[in-house]
Structure 1
Amino acid sequence: MPNAQSNPLSTVSDVPSTAAQDACPGLVWAFRIRGDGTAEEFAECTLTAADQGRGGEDWLWLHFNLADARVAPYLRTAAHDVPPAALELLLSADDHQQLHADGACVYGVFADLVYRLGGPTDDLGLLHFVATERLLLTARRDGLNALEAVRRSLRAGTCTKNQTELLETILLQVVAGVEQKAEDLGDELDAIEERLIVDLTDDIPKRLARTRRLAVRLHRLLATQRAAVGRFEQNVLRTTGKAHDMRTGHIAQRLDWLDHEVVALRDRAHLLQEEVSLRMTDQTNRNLQLLTIVTTVFLPASVISSIFGMNVGGLPLEHDRTGFVWSMLLLISASGLVFWILRRLGMLRR
């Protein structure tokens, strides 16, 4: 019988957590899927070759944390059944979304919403995956919404036939997460639009900028995913293997539909931004008009006060005790005359 480190990807058994970390570093969780589709999760586990060949139709879903520096050398040593190209993509930092078929193996990289304790966020993370005939390997550097959703589903008793069906479920959960985020964007745009009808508040431009930025990011995400699925559907026709029974048609349809929805939200946000810009420009013009009117009204008073302020002889009312009163009356009269002229011209009503 081979030793415990010759092929540690063969099976799963319960051991204390310290030993599990040493034997299978970076493992976040592991599921054994039985022949009837039911799943059994192992929180503390080690992967050994002692049980190789056991389990009949059982297969494994192993999920790793790529932030652990020990994962890459461990998998390069242990994953003998994974094609080299698939393994390198699984461990790489490549941020390009892609989906490939190689013999009896499906592998690639998909982006998903980052999952925190409070739920999915607006940030995007990368899901790396490899599906062979007896194994599904997934890896990430940040918690991802789709993986958490599928994990909860398996814990609740959901059955899955094979690794490609589970991979389909994960990819559909990626789309579902983006769909929920798109619905939140629609609700946010509704709230902004309702508020904009009443008044333009200071927080609206910032909220609208965040909403449009997220819509643009989601559109890029969906367009790239749709292109990756399209290339996969073309390439898979030239390959063979049991792993290629993965159905991507319904995934492509949901991506197309959702991308149209996100584009509509992006265009709607753009139109609202234009309306906000027009409102802000109009408000600025009104302020400038008010400043111009005030300056024009008090311009004659400024001229008169400048004349009386000149340090020269012969100024009128210089030695008159009522000179201040007469000068004030002159200033008020001049400003009042200009105000009356502006009003007659209708400039105060614009």
Structure 2
Amino acid sequence: MAAPKPIHAYDVSETGVASVVSDLNTALSEGGYRWVHLDLSDPNAFDWISEQADPVVADALMRADTRPRMAEHADGLILIMRGVNLNPNSDPEDMVSLRLWVTDRLVITTRLRRLMAVSEMAEQMARGSAPTTPADLVCALSQGLTARMEPVLEALVDEIDDLEERSVDRASRLRGELAEIRRTTITLRRYLAPQRDILARLSLEDAGPLHHPHVRVTLRETADRLARLVEELDMIRERSSILNDQMVDARAEEMNAAMLLLSVVAAVFLPLGFLTGLLGINVGGLPGAHWPYAFALVCASCLGLAGGLVWWFRRKGWL
């Protein structure tokens, strides 16, 4: 069978010394484990994974649309995790999926897009140093994924702080920025919350190759760290909702003020319009029709009436 072309492939000894694997069909030496990182687009990946595990595992690792989950299968563990997208010209909330098949002697990971945590692990192995067991490798990858989420959430907190400060003066102009923050928060939480639950569950259960006590402690710490990030997302979401309510209230106040002003203007000109309309009817008997000072008197009366209405509206507090 034609083997897929791996993105990364290393054999790791029991002492943590990593060596590059050039041919995936070669047998693994005694002791240690093998890590193979594949691209989902490789046409030979599904058949090769099916031979190393079974079609159920291959289907889980090759599925395009995934959410964080964990499932024990045969002698191994299927684990799906997500990491923020830190690739150039990408949105961090467009999270990248990392699919893992973990046994005592083999770790297979697949991805569709590049993940910085995986690249960093490959660089570490290229230098000859690696986690000594598959369980340690899973811990290191989960820690790497979680660590890269923190700067993204810190940036969101800074953005919401800045919006709250600017909303004091021009709340109605910031609705687009707030909507983008809320969208990012919702997207991140959609994947981080189940991933937090998975790591917490792994830290409490004897899940296949991850049963080592020190691994459970590390996973528990990572789960606590991820739980803090989820709580941070919840806080950002609540602050965004409060800020959105404030913006809606400010917009309503602006509209009410504009409607009040229009109403006052209409109330001032309503009697003036009635008066001028009455004096403009084309019938005989209008007073002052032949008096040269009648127009000036009407204008003065209109100004006096308008001034009296404005004074009364101010006294009522409507202006």
TM-score normalised by the chain length of structure 2: 0.84
Change (3 A) 1:110 1:309: farther
| 3-state SS of 2:85 partner | strand
| 3-state SS of 2:310 partner | helix
Is 1:70 aligned to residue 43 of structure 2?
Answer: yes
Q: Give the Cα–Cα distance (whole angstroms) in 1 for the partners of residues 289 and 42 of structure 2.
A: 91
Q: Give the Cα–Cα distance (whole angstroms) in 2 for the partners of residues 172 and 280 of structure 1.
A: 44
Aligned-pair CA distance for 1:254:
1.9
Q: Give the Cα–Cα distance (whole angstroms) in 1 for the partners of residues 171 and 236 of structure 2.
A: 21
Change (3 A) 1:167 1:220: same
Q: Give the Cα–Cα distance (whole angstroms) in 1 for the partners of residues 137 and 269 of structure 2.
A: 78
Is 1:227 aligned to residue 197 of structure 2?
Answer: yes
Checking the alignment, whether the CA contact within 8 Å between 2:106 and 2:134 is kept in structure 1 is yes
The aligned counterpart of 1:194 is 165
Checking the alignment, whether the CA contact within 8 Å between 2:68 and 2:79 is kept in structure 1 is yes
Q: Give the Cα–Cα distance (whole angstroms) in 2 for the partners of residues 41 and 195 of structure 1.
A: 54
Aligned-pair CA distance for 1:270:
1.9
The aligned counterpart of 1:33 is 12
Q: Which amino acid in 2 is paired with 1:174?
A: L
Q: Which runs of 5+ in 2 are unaligned?
A: none
Q: Give the Cα–Cα distance (whole angstroms) in 2 for the partners of residues 138 and 82 of structure 1.
A: 13
Aligned-pair CA distance for 1:153:
4.7
RMSD: 3.0
Checking the alignment, whether the CA contact within 8 Å between 1:120 and 1:145 is kept in structure 2 is no
Aligned-pair CA distance for 1:103:
4.4
Change (3 A) 1:207 1:28: same
Is 1:125 aligned to residue 96 of structure 2?
Answer: yes
Q: Identity over the aligned pairs, expressed in percent?
A: 24
Q: Give the Cα–Cα distance (whole angstroms) in 2 for the partners of residues 256 and 201 of structure 1.
A: 32
Match of 2:275 among 304, 315, 319: 304
Aligned-pair CA distance for 1:180:
2.1
Aligned-pair CA distance for 1:338:
0.8
Indicate the structure with greater strand content: 1
The aligned counterpart of 1:180 is 151
Aligned-pair CA distance for 1:322:
4.9
Checking the alignment, whether the CA contact within 8 Å between 1:113 and 1:145 is kept in structure 2 is no
Is 1:283 aligned to residue 258 of structure 2?
Answer: no
Indicate the structure with greater helix content: 2
TM-score normalised by the chain length of structure 1: 0.77
Q: Which amino acid in 1 is paired with 2:133?
A: N
Change (3 A) 1:157 1:78: closer
How many equivalent residue pairs? 315
Is 1:206 aligned to residue 176 of structure 2?
Answer: yes
Matches within 5 A, 1:85-124: 85-117=56-88, 121-124=92-95
Q: Give the Cα–Cα distance (whole angstroms) in 2 for the partners of residues 257 and 219 of structure 1.
A: 12
Q: Which amino acid in 2 is paired with 1:61?
A: W
Change (3 A) 1:63 1:115: farther
